[in-house]
Structure 1
């Protein structure tokens, strides 16, 4: 890693190799494509939405649940008609339900949500009634109603409120007046620091968007807020590879699950190790994303029978002994960059004190991350080979 300089840069701490040395006129900046995910959020305008308050909120909802299970250790015989289930509120009279293990179809006659008890007509079809065991899954396949009947019981899901905070990010840099006037190979150092500061600023936001946890701190003179990142929201589809990850394991335990809900095209943020593993058994299935290439992003497409992954090299964020074996799968339709109104990334120039013989600029952003419907995303951990 390069040495770190604290404070305003002067003619002594800029590094002698930049001043008078026979070298190329171009300075190679480490990680030029440093933050593909943040770049994607900003390029794809649909993934940026202005927040009108430092606490921004949204609602999540789903269709009525279709799956439940029997809840009696002893189970039920083929003639029992009263059954305790996990969630009685899922059912309504005249629902048609099926027991996948036996194939039996039943008609729901009455429901007691308070005791989670349903009464049913057994063998309601061609398949004969059979014994049902504890935890047997039940699926609501539809409903049947008599001729001339009135409206069925009204039932709906209730929206769940979610929220996050915007966070103020600052990346300052500066040079003395003397240093700024000194002729250097590669052009003015200030312009270079602006470019490098912009990349660093974007990476700082990206790290918070991955690892951050939301918090409102009122212990100081003014409020301090931090935004919650992806890992704090993605709690539904977590899979630990526990070492080796095979193609079959990836499809069976990850792709089948993550493409069940949401978009059929996802973003997969990859650690270096995960990229190596994917490349070892998916090489012939990888395609270059030409549209992303037009914006300077290096993205590969991995097509599976369940959906398509857009692979992004995220090794500069997902690194180290723990995160170096991670992969984070994102449904782009359910993730947004939420800058506070008028507070998206700006370069503030000449913010130094009036009597300071120097030039100080800074990048400043106040923004947070919106992550909807965790079921449409996933986190893969523990990949070593």
Structure 2
């Protein structure tokens, strides 16, 4: 064997009967082709039974490989067909690529590493391939890794929905709150998503009856789904969604008087942001608004601050006392949006109070919201932000999958 060919064979990790018998470089196309051949008299195991069989014929195939310096590199190979006395003629799998792929395993490993960090469309331009082909690579590895996921030890889950695309188009996420990983994602935000999760859980060795804790928002559909498909789970309504209700009530109060109170215009975000995140100018303007005791908004906003503060206390008995007092104050305020929140809380009192028993775990669910915009951005490209693409990206980022990618 030519010494240069042998060097490339070693670099590719090829062992007999595979050899590199030709290296071609086309300057005009800036392309390197490595031709892989078989040693004469080679035998290969039958893909069905493993019996050693002679080569019956070969097929020429091409795979995109990692760049050679700045030049595109390809593997061209004569892939053998073997004739098994029992199972007939079969094509042998090339050891450097998955069956049916036009990329080598190392090329796919590079792609999978890159799509964790940047949008798939950006990666496609860097590697000179279409984004559709790269999505198929990602889909293959995510699906394969998810099949190997075990869920027998799952007992505590968090449920949340996020918009998959613009408009009312949602994805529901089921999170293992103990292992801090995404378990399951599916389109929709109705009770059926719990049925689908239960089936997926069972398919991975878990059991819906083994779920003893579920954290979620106040969605009637979620409550129905949990009651029907997670029969042994105690429900916690997490603080993130409870505070969202209070924020919406404060903003509803503001909207009700903004026409008669010009000072309230363009002040919505002042009341939604935490005080510590306001600039000096924003804080000064907020304080000026709150000084006006004739404003209903100035009455509603302190209720919002107090409500948020209650959820930082660690003593459950004190939490319950403070929340009960808050409910009475909010009811006495006479502000319809705040009174509406009071009745919502009272109708879900056990699930609201349960947050104080497991608040450390519930923060995990809130933390899962942070990487979601990144997953959306990576999935979004030239109209390719499908449910499947977005879900695969969330699995890749949040699923802690063992992709078993070659290095």
Higher relative CO (Cα under 8 Å, sequence separation at least 6) belongs to: 1
**Greater per-residue helix proportion:** 2
**Greater per-residue strand proportion:** 1
Fold shared by both chains (TM-score > 0.5): no
Q: Could you tell me the TM-score, scaled by structure 2's length?
A: 0.20
Q: Could you tell me the TM-score, scaled by structure 1's length?
A: 0.21
